[in-house]
């Protein structure tokens, strides 16, 4: 009788363990199903992203053509070319204020001394120019004087470098994300096979 009780206890323990394993198995199957859905959603999202930017890729995720980015680059290049042409043909505005009372050689000397780190007063003393004249020469050389600022505001069109930089940064980020998605999909496929 004692053996029968032991065997019944073992059978009950085995049945209990089988029930636990079945519960774990159903949880794992549910998790795998959710993982498959998640992977499918990410694939569809990536395809919509590529479709939106007119990107063509190989099976391994490498870009063959990226029509949307090329169009944006073309527009930025056209704008930059137009800005350069405008700036080339822009009419020069008369300088503001009276002419500087210094020769070209003195102006060159002032700029050289300033680049060496000399103070405005030291430059004025060495070149025998007034402090305001030295200040005006340096501002003109650094393009921070009123006349240069006025001409820049009225005539010059800035070349658009920032949009191109932002566009390249977005492209690099998108490529990194896309590469990570491809790696994630490959890893997910391996996990699903195991």
Tell me the per-residue pLDDT of 28-38, one tens digit each, with 9 for 90 and over: 889 888 888 88
**What's the pLDDT score for residue 155?**
57
Element (H, E) at 57: strand 55-57
Kindly report, residue by residue over 86-115, the tens digit of the pLDDT.
776 665 556 667 778 888 899 999 999 998
Read off φ and ψ for residue 71, nearest 5 degrees.
Answer: -65, -45
CA distance 69 to 156: 28
**What's the pLDDT score for residue 72?**
74
Answer yes or no: pTM beyond 0.75.
Answer: no
Q: Are 161 and 84 in contact (CB under 8 A)?
A: no
- Distance between terminal CA atoms of the chain? 46
3-state SS track over 61-77 = CCEEEEHHHHHHHHHHH
pLDDT band of residue 4 (cuts 50, 70, 90) is: confident
**Does residue 182 register a pLDDT over 90?**
no
Residue 82, Cα to own-chain centre: how many angstroms? 25
Angle at 98 between CA 93 and CA 101, to 5 degrees: 125
**What's the pLDDT score for residue 108?**
92
Domains and CATH numbers, the chain: 2-73+162-193 (no CATH), 91-154 (1.10.10)
**What's the pLDDT score for residue 169?**
77
CA distances from residue 110 to 8, 101, 139, 172 in whole angstroms, order as listed = 106, 13, 11, 45
Higher pLDDT, 116 or 66: 116
CA distance 78 to 39: 41
């Amino acid at each position: 009788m004692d053996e029968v009780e032991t065997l019944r206890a073992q059978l009950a323990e085995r049945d209990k363990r089988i029930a636990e394993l079945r519960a774990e198995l159903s949880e794992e199957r549910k998790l795998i199903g959710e993982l498959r859905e998640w992977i499918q959603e990410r694939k569809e999202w990536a395809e919509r992203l590529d479709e939106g930017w007119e990107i063509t890729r190989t099976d391994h995720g490498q870009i063959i053509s990226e029509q949307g980015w090329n169009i944006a680059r073309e527009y930025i290049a056209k704008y930059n070319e137009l800005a350069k042409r405008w700036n080339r043909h822009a009419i020069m505005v008369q300088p503001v204020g009276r002419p500087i009372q210094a020769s070209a050689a003195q102006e060159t000397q002032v700029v050289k001394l300033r680049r060496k780190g000399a103070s405005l007063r030291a430059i004025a003393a060495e070149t025998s120019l007034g402090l305001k004249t030295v200040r005006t020469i340096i501002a003109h050389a650094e393009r921070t004087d009123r006349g240069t600022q006025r001409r820049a505001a009225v005539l010059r069109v800035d070349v658009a470098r920032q949009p191109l930089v932002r566009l390249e940064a977005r492209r690099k980020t998108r490529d990194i994300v896309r590469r990570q998605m491809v790696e994630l999909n490959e890893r997910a496929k391996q996990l699903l096979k195991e």
